[in-house]
Structure formats: structure tokens, C-alpha cells
Amino acid sequence: MPLSFFIRTRVSCSPLIERACIPSAHQASRVQNGEQKAGIPGQGEKVLSALNEDKCEALNFGINYGMVANNLPTPADVVTLLQAICVSKAKLYDADRSVLSTFTNTGISFIVGIPNQELGALASASQAFQWVQENVAAHLPDTHISAIVVGNEIFSTNDTTLMGQVLPAMRNIYLALSLLNLHHDIIVSTAHSFSIVTTSYPPSSGQFNPAIATTYMKPMLEFLSKTKAPFFINVYPFFPYKENPKMIPIEYALFKPNPGVQDPKTSLHYTNMFDAQLDAVYFAIEALGYHNITLLVSETGWPSAGDENEVGANIENAKVYHQNLMKHISLQHGTPLHPNTSLEVYFFALFNEDMKPGPGSERNYGLFKPDGTMVYEFQFFNQPNASSSCSSLHFVFTLFLYFPTLMHLIHFHL
């Protein structure tokens, strides 16, 4: 193959990838001579990390890295992808060792999860200590872990046995962190579905489901208050819009300009459903006597496709929701009830996951397809110099991928 081929060649990207400065995930992480090993970031990742230090702006958002699929890129590919789009926070639904070890020294911080089915064993303090040792402490400090989520959306189920396991598990995990002197750096919480707020309009009427409020929520809030941990909440304006599109303006759900609504009790004005849902949660927490607990949005998103009866699930709405949400976060205005309060938000999700059960929308929340291309155009606002970043990234990837062959050919021609 002529030398001129390698000099001309650049990493091949689709127009959508070009807009987001994202080379192919496969191309990005594979070393031409095969030296990169699983779980050990190669030189390309190191170059990218150094390149992005000056290109990325800090922004209080992360992304959910779900893996209910059979066609996802390797963790090494995902390292490169997240660094290329300047995402420094990710959330897992377990504590996958291959993922956490691959992300060593990448500067990406993780929230790890404990699956619902594992909570029963954590009623034992010794089991909880072993879990923390093996799944958290073993990865520190090379992989940064900021939080442990004990179960996901348990209080929207009817499983009272499982509900009763959450707080004991949280306490034992926190105790284990304390014994290892990690409790100042790693928070312990559990993630809730917004459906636990059975009264949410107007936001000032926010109340938790009476069946769980006193028995489960109040003691949990006491734990969060004492440990200074946030309340993790999953909010999806898509769901109420889908159920009632004639009553809820799409503009209100998508952060588009609209007259908004005023809470008759507080006179607070809401121009989007996202803020209204969050304030309903704040009011529900305060109704139980707690005023010092912050929120962390552990999931939010909009599907790019869905079943025929899933009104609003399409690419255009997904694109607008995520882009406007990014703008909303970047302003750091908080909510009407808690203005000027920085809010940490985790988008759902990184990839479309083809094995998720349920309606079609469940498999179409990803910003990316499994091959690393974007589902729709999306500008990550923590890439202030997108065009220059793209040029630099393409140059680095091209040089990195072809350097061994290029040097060999130059030597041969000399």
C-alpha cells in the first residue's frame, strides 16, 4: 500500500459523529499492532485524556451506562467515547469489575449500584463489609467512586419484603465505608421512581405515597439527613406527557418557550415539567419534616422511538429534550423552590439497550447506538471549542492508529 494512502487517511466518521467530535468507538480504542490489552487503557486513551483536559468545561451532569444488551462496545471503547465527549461522570447499575478496572486513571467518576436481588444478603454487616471491600475499596484510588446506590426504584413496587431490606442494607454499607474511612468521600443512597410521589400537582402539594411515607420514607430521610447524602430521583417528563398529551403542552415537557403554570399556593412560576417534578419531590420531603436534603437526578431522558401508542417517542423530541435540558443544567438556576442551587443530573442513557424488557421506548433511550454513532445530533455543552476539538481529535486518532505502519513504511522507503 503506498505511503501516500496513510498520509491522506483520517479516521472515518459519519456526519453525526463529526458534529460531536466522536470517532468510531472501534477505531478509537484499537492499537494497530495489537498491544492494547483488555482492562488496560492504551496510549490513545492517554493522549485523549491529555488533549481533553484543556478542551472540556466542568458541567454537573453525567450519564447512565446501562448494559442490558448483547451488542455493546467494550469498556475500553467506552472510555474513549466518554473522554471524547468530555463526560467525567458515569453511573452503573452494578459494580462491574471489568468496567471499573478498565476506567483506572481516566478521570471519570462512577456511581456504582447494588442490584435489588442482592440486598437481602446485606442485612449481614459482615457481608456488607465484604461487598464494599471487593467492589469499591479494591478499585480505589485509581478508579474514582463517588456514591453507592442501594437498589433501584424499589418503593414503586409492591414487594414489602424488598422494601424492608433497603434501609438495613444502606446502614450496613455506610458502616463498612466508615470502618474503611471512606464515608467522607462516598455517599450511600437509593434511587427512586417519581411514581412514589402520588400527589405532584401543583408542586406544593407534593406528597409521597401514604403506604410508604411513614413506614419507609421517613426513616430513610433521617438516614440521608444524618449522612448528608442526597435523595436520588428518576424523573421523566415523557411519562406524564405520554399519558395525557392533550392536557400537557409538549413545549412544557421539552423546555420550549411556553406561558408556564403558577403554583396557586406558593405563587412560584414553572416553565417546564422537569422543575415542577423536582419541586414536588422537595415538597414531599419537607412534608415529612426534612428541609436539608438535596436532590440528585439519577435518571432522566426521552426515548427516540417507541411503540405506536407511545405518544411523543421520536427522534426530534428526544433531541430537543436533551439539548434543552443541557442548556437548563448549564445555567445552574436550580428550581423555583430552590433557585441558584447546583443540581447533579445523570442522562439516561449512554446506549440503546436491545435486551431491555417492556415497551419499545425502553430500548431507545440511548444517545448512542452500540456502534458508537449518535442516534441524533447532540452538542455536549462542555465542549466549548467543538470545531477545534474535532480537528485535534481526528489528528490524534489518525496518528495513533497508523503510527506503527507509517514509521515502518518511512523506514522502508529510506
Least confident stretch, 141-150, 175-184, 215-224, 387-396: 387-396
pLDDT of residue 58: 62
> Which pLDDT score, from 0 to 100, does residue 388 have?
37
Active-site amino acid positions = 153, 299
Whether residue 359 has a cis bond before it, omega within 30° of 0 = no
Grid cell locating 109:
467518576
Residue 233 CA to residue 406 CA, distance in Å, equals 51
In this structure, how many other beta carbons lie within 10 angstroms of the beta carbon of residue 41?
22
CB–CB of 132/118 below 8 Å?
no
Q: Is the pLDDT of residue 25 over 50?
A: no
* The amino acid at 244: N
CA–CA dist 299, 236 (Å, integer): 8
Per-residue pLDDT reduced to its tens digit, 240-276: 999 999 999 999 999 999 999 999 999 999 999 999 9
Grid cell listed for 340: 441558584
- pLDDT: which is higher, 359 or 35: 359
Q: How far is CA 266 from CA 200, 237, 270, 279, 409, in A?
A: 14, 22, 11, 11, 73
Interaxial angle between packed helices 160-179 and 125-135, expressed in degrees from 0 to 180 and rounded to the nearest 10? 60
What pLDDT does residue 378 have? 87
44-48, 91-95, 151-155, range with the lowest pLDDT? 44-48
At residue 116, the 3 state secondary structure works out as helix
What span, in angstroms and rounded, lies between the C-alpha atoms of 389 and 392? 5
Q: What mean pLDDT, rounded, does the chain reach?
A: 84
Q: Are 131 and 148 in contact (CB under 8 A)?
A: no
For residue 233, the SS3 value is: strand
Q: Where are the beta strands (DSSP E) in 139-287?
A: 144-152, 187-193, 197-199, 207-208, 231-234, 261-262, 269-270
Nearest Cα residue to 228 out of 292, 179, 274: 292
CA distances from 122 to 116, 130, 147, 173 (A): 11, 10, 17, 8
Q: How many CB atoms lie within 10 A of CB 265?
A: 11
pLDDT at 29 over 60: no
Strand partners, 109: 89, 144
pLDDT in tens, 296-348: 999 999 999 999 999 999 999 999 999 999 999 999 999 999 998 889 999 99
2: pLDDT strictly greater than 60: no
What pLDDT does residue 380 have? 80
Nearest to 38 by CA among 96, 126, 102, 90: 102
**Exposure of 8 by Cβ count < 10 A (0-12 exposed, 13-18 middle, 19+ buried)?**
exposed
Considering Cα of 31, then 36, then 38, then 40, what sign does the dihedral take?
negative
Calculate mean pLDDT across residues 395-412.
38
**Single-letter amino acid, residue 281:** V
Model pLDDT, residue 38: 34
Angle at 66 between CA 208 and CA 376, to 5 degrees: 100
- Helical (H) or strand (E) element with 177: helix 160-179
- Identify the CA nearest to 231 among candidates 306, 298, 180, 299: 298
Question: pLDDT above 90 covers what percent of the chain?
Answer: 75
| Topology annotation, domain 22-378 | TIM Barrel (3.20.20)
User: Among 13, 37, 16, 33, which Cα is nearest to 25's?
Assistant: 13
Rounded Cα distance between 236 and 349, Å, is 12
Residue 88 CA to residue 341 CA, distance in Å, equals 20
Instruction: Classify burial at 277, counting beta carbons within 10 Å of its beta carbon; exposed 0-12, middle 13-18, buried 19 or more.
Output: buried
Q: What is the C-alpha to C-alpha distance for residues 170 and 414, in angstroms, rounded to an integer? A: 66
